[in-house]
Structure formats: C-alpha cells, structure tokens
Amino acid sequence: MSIASLRARLPGFAKDVSLNLSSLVEDDTLTAQQKYGLLVACGHATRNPEVAAAMEGEAAGHLTPAALDAARAAATIMAMNNVYYRFVHLASNAEYRTMPARLRMSVIGKPGVDKADFELWSLAVSALNGCGMCIDSHEKVLREADVSSATIQTAVRYAAVIQSVAMALEVAGAPVAVAAE
C-alpha cells in the first residue's frame, strides 16, 4: 500500500486532509531519513493498520532496516512513555514525580540511527499522543542538538496530518445513525 492509494480512499469531506498528505510526500525540507521515519512512526502511532501500512509502503526503499526499526521503536516506546509521563504530569499527587519510572527505555539512548532523528520522531509521536511532559523533554534535546524550530514544527505537522488521515478513514467507515421519526 502507498500514500497514493490511501489518498484515493479518503472521502470527499477530507479533501484538505488529502491535500495536506500530498504536501508531506512532496516536502523536501527534511532529510529522507527524517521524513520517512516520521511517516512510519506517526503512521504506527495512529493505531490504524491501513495508515501504518501505507506509511511503511511509502518508506520502503528510503530507510535502512535499522532506521525502519528505529522509527517503529519510536512509536512503540512513546506509546508507553506518553501514558506514564502524561499521568505523572496530570496527577494532583506530586509524589509521583519523585518516584522512579522503572520503565526500560534504552532504545532512546541507543536508537541505531542519528539521535536527533529519533528524538524528532519521538517528539512527533508524543504530540500525537498528547504528552506535554514528553514534548518538552524531546524538544529540549532537539534544541540542544541545534535542530531548528521550523524542523520541529514540521515534524508536528506530519503527526497532525497523519492523525487526521486515520480519523477521516474512521469517520468514513463509521455507521451513520438514523434519526427516529
């Protein structure tokens, strides 16, 4: 599956989403590894198998096996971290902030690809999952690595567009309620 086939499945009410998805494919502001890693990580983070398959299909031939695994790892590890750290951030009981997470996350330290690229993918997935604490943490690491605000904003735009594709497909497939007469 490819992004072109995914776009063909988007309903008419999602024209803007389709056009935004097309603009991601044409985007040349990121490196190939950043771009295709974002597609894969965010595609999996939507939890929509069709979107994930299309993003992986688009990335085929553009990512090394190590980069593909790292993008998948970013989606996977952030699925865990975003739940945990969002809880720590939102819980009224401050004691949780002093407790060790006791979660294994060594892939963040040794992702198998450029650390800044992995952090960019992790930030985008964290934005998609709505974890402010993780967003701040990854953004700080990216800024320390001299990644520009424009690149960071672009990564979050990828997350937003890919999430909206998954939503459009879900809405199009949802049963329509019939009003009682």
Q: Which of 134, 159, 161, 165 is catalytic?
A: 134
Residue 104 DSSP label: -
CA-based nearest residue to 161, from 8, 1, 7: 7
Average pLDDT over residues 125-150: 97
Which is the catalytic residue, given 14, 41, 131, 159? 131
For residue range 87-99, list pLDDT tens digits in order: 999 999 999 999 9
Average pLDDT over residues 158-176: 92
| DSSP secondary structure string for all residues of 123-152 | HHHHHHHT-HHHHHHHHHHHHHTT--HHHH
pLDDT at 174: 73
Say if residue 180's pLDDT is above 70: no
**pLDDT band at residue 177 using 50, 70 and 90 as cut-offs:** low
Does pLDDT of 28 surpass 70? yes
Is 3-173 a CATH 3.40.50.300 domain? no
Structural domain boundaries in the chain: 3-173
Query: Is 134 one of the annotated active-site residues of the chain?
Result: yes
The whole-chain average pLDDT of the chain stands at 94
| 131 classed as catalytic | yes
